[in-house]
Chains A and B, each alone.
Chain A
Amino acid sequence: MATPAVSSPWWRSERTRARLLSLLLMAVVLGVWHLATLPKVAAGPALTPEQVEYMKLMGKDPGGVAGGSTASNFPTLAVMGATIWSSITDPFYDNGPNDKGIGIQLAYSLGRVGAGYLIAALVAIPLGFAIGMSPLVHRALDPFIQVLKPISPLAWMPLALYTIKDSAASGIFVIFICSVWPMLINTAFGVAGVRREWLNVARTLEVSAWRRAVEVILPAAAPTILTGMRISMGIAWLVIVAAEMLVGGTGIGYFVWNEWNNLSLPNVIFAILMIGLVGMALDAAFGRLQKAVTYVD
Chain B
Amino acid sequence: MSTDFLKIEGLGKAYPGAAEPVFEGVNFGIQRGEFVCIIGHSGCGKTTILNTLAGLEHSSEGHVFMDGREVTAPGLERGVVFQGHALMPWLTVGQNIAFAVRSKWPEKGKSEVLSHVEKYVQMVGLGAAIDKLPSQLSGGMKQRVGIARAFAIEPKMLLLDEPFGALDALTRGTIQDELLRICAETKQTVFMITHDVDEAILLADKILLMSNGPRARIAEIVVNTLPRDRSRAGLHHDPQFYPLRNHLVDFLVARAKDLSHGRAPTHPPQVRPGLLAQAA
Contact = CB atoms under 8 A, between A and B. Distances in A.
Contact of B78 (A201, A204, A295, A296): A204
B43 interface: no
A269 to B, nearest CB: 45
A216 interface: yes
Interface in B48-71: 54-56
A225 interface: no
B76 interface: yes
Interface residues of B, number: 23
Given A200-B80, A295-B133, A296-B133, A205 B99 contact: yes
A295 B74 contact: no
Interface size class of A (residues with CB under 8 A): 20 to 34
A219 interface: yes
Given A197-B84, A295-B133, A205 B153 contact: yes
Contacts of B99: 205, 215
Contact of A205 (B84, B100, B133, B135): B100
B103 A219 contact: no
Contacts, number: 59
Given A200-B56, A295-B135, A296-B135, A220 B75 contact: no
B88 A203 contact: no
A198 B88 contact: yes
Chain B interface secondary structure, helix, strand, loop or mixed? loop
A207 B102 CA distance: 9
Nearest to B104: A205
A203 B80 CA distance: 10
B76 A205 contact: yes
B165 interface: no
Contacts of A216: 88
B100 A297 contact: no
Chain A interface secondary structure, helix, strand, loop or mixed? helix
B184 interface: no
Contacts of B78: 204
- Between B90, B99, B104, the greatest number of chain A beta carbons within 10 A of the residue's beta carbon is seen for B90
A204 B133 contact: no
Contacts of B54: 204
B104 A200 contact: no
Nearest to B100: A205
Contacts of B56: 200, 203-204
A216 B99 CA distance: 10
A219 B88 contact: yes
A206 interface: yes
Contacts of A206: 74-76, 103
Interface string A46-78: 000000000000000000000000000000000
A185 B90 CA distance: 23
A203 to B, nearest CB: 4
Given A295-B133, A295-B135, A296-B133, A205 B103 contact: yes
A129 B89 CA distance: 21
B234 to A, nearest CB: 36
B276 interface: no
B242 interface: no
Given A203-B56, A204-B75, A205-B99, A295 B89 contact: yes
A282 B100 CA distance: 38
Contacts of A211: 103
A203 B135 contact: no
B166 interface: no
Contacts of A198: 86, 88
A148 to B, nearest CB: 33
22 contacts: A197-B84, A197-B86, A198-B86, A198-B88, A200-B86, A201-B82, A201-B88, A201-B100, A203-B74, A204-B74, A204-B78, A205-B99, A205-B104, A206-B103, A215-B99, A219-B88, A220-B88, A220-B90, A295-B90, A295-B135, A296-B89, A296-B135
Given A200-B74, A201-B88, 19 more contacts: A197-B82, A198-B86, A200-B56, A200-B86, A201-B80, A201-B100, A203-B55, A204-B56, A204-B75, A204-B79, A204-B80, A206-B74, A216-B88, A219-B91, A295-B89, A296-B89, A296-B133, A296-B135, A297-B89
Q: List the 10 closest A-B pairs by CB distance, nearest first.
A: A296-B135, A205-B103, A197-B86, A295-B90, A203-B74, A204-B74, A295-B89, A219-B90, A297-B89, A204-B80
